[in-house]
Chain A
């Protein structure tokens, strides 16, 4: 299955932008790039996803490299509530078919300092 690589941890200051990188050099043309996060003691929470074009929603932006071998999740103004583990996940056509089962890695633990 396609794999992603993320830094183990990152730090940010409150109200500053945060760029969370993800490498997925073995991505195939039909794989979607999903981001989820897990706040302490909670279940995972969907953040954003995309295929080729950059995406924006109320939570974040997703910047996808032109060759799709990497992507960056952008939190425009980090708040204390954004402290969580962020997971970059590829959903493959071949694995899980249309179900899109999520295969979580270790993610990036984001700390936000006041």
Chain B
């Protein structure tokens, strides 16, 4: 069964450093998403991406964040200068069509720890 994969599973970084979280969505999917979950809190939407551009972003997704689909398979989330409060699980998701009437498939997540 096809699945969304994410690397690395765990990333430790120093405050102020840049990190890139990587995702490989399911191959025939066209819509991509990033969510995050701070430990013990609810899952929060960050950004959606379609047709090589951001479709929608939340208030969390400020200028420190960017997303890219550098090739036909990867979808990345970059945090330019990490802060302590960026420590969280980051989940990538994809869907074949817009997920209003379609399911999103989530990856296993990347745990980001900012020291």
Contact = CB atoms under 8 A, between A and B. Distances in A.
B76 interface: no
Given A43-B91, A91-B99, A100 B45 contact: no
Interface in A95-114: 96-107
Contacts of B43: 38, 44, 87, 102, 104
Contacts of A32: 100-101
17 contacts: A42-B109, A43-B89, A43-B93, A43-B107, A43-B108, A44-B43, A44-B104, A49-B101, A91-B99, A96-B100, A99-B55, A99-B56, A100-B98, A100-B99, A102-B45, A103-B45, A104-B43
Given A96-B48, A96-B56, A102-B45, A49 B91 contact: no
B44 interface: yes
A101 B33 contact: yes
Interface in B97-113: 97-109
Contacts, number: 77
B65 interface: no
B107 A49 contact: no
Interface in A36-86: 38, 42-46, 49, 51
Contacts of A38: 43
B98 A99 contact: yes
A106 B37 CA distance: 12
